[in-house]
Amino acid sequence: MNKTITCKELNAELVYAPKLKHSYIQVKHDSTIIIKTPYKQESYAINFFHEKETWIRKQLLKNSLHRQPQVNLEDEVLIFGEIYSIDTQEAQYLRQKLHKMRIYSPEKVLSAYDNFYKHLSQEYLPQRVDYYADIMNLHYKVLKFRKMKSRWGSCSSKKIITFNTQLMKVHKELVDYVVVHELAHLVHMNHSKRFHELVEVYLPHSKTLRKRLKNIRLPA
């Protein structure tokens, strides 16, 4: 049976694992702390917990910075990194979708949110793409919008650019990074040094933006 041990205000689940050669600590995405050790002495685990406190707090801070804000479905909506009430003007399209439902179910509510983000993508992204395509002197053929699990955008050799509709949840400067990133693929269909240099021309802080975006976990 697992136990809970404490280091100041931090709690960790202590797991006895006799087959392990060493003790280790895991900080999960939900900030749960797990300590696995082959040693039965609880005092050893507590000392180990205190010894690793600084590292643990760093991981917890990373989680807090990278975690997407959670919203209460049907009451709130996440738009460009900010949580809005469902009653605001920004959420009007979503509110109308929800009000038209005769039978509520978690699946239908989530589908309404997905439709809202696709609608917002179709409204917002073309203007940002055209803005940067103009100053970069680049031309695409088609824009597509769909929910994706593993990437924020893509660009095919046929000059078809596809955006993840979940982009509407992140801050606008990160959206612009994805836009410039995909447009740059019209010139370089890779992630070579020349590709990143091209992105950097139009977004001088692109390295910072790329790192921020990389650390955001795509919603399910």
| Per-residue pLDDT tens over the stretch 34-67 | 999 998 888 888 899 999 899 888 877 776 665 5
Backbone dihedral angles phi then psi of residue 35, each to the nearest 5 degrees: -115, 120
Segments making up each domain of the chain, as ranges: 3-66, 76-214
At 68 the pLDDT is 62
Give percent of the chain above pLDDT 90.
Answer: 52
| CATH H superfamily, domain 76-214 | Metalloproteases ("zincins"), catalytic domain (3.30.2010.10)
Report pTM: 0.70
What residues contact residue 106 under an 8 Å CB cut-off, 6+ apart? 73
Q: Positive or negative CA dihedral for 90, 125, 29, 111?
A: positive
Answer whether 156's CB lies under 8 Å from 141's CB: no
pLDDT at 218 > cutoff 70: no
At 3 the pLDDT is 85
The two beta strands, 142-146 and 82-85, are unpaired
CA distances from 220 to 67, 111, 118, 210 (A): 13, 12, 15, 21
DSSP state letters, 147-186: --SS-SEEE-TTSEEEEEGGGGGS-HHHHHHHHHHHHHTT
Most confident of 5-9, 55-59, 70-74, 167-171: 167-171
H or E element that contains 83: strand 82-85
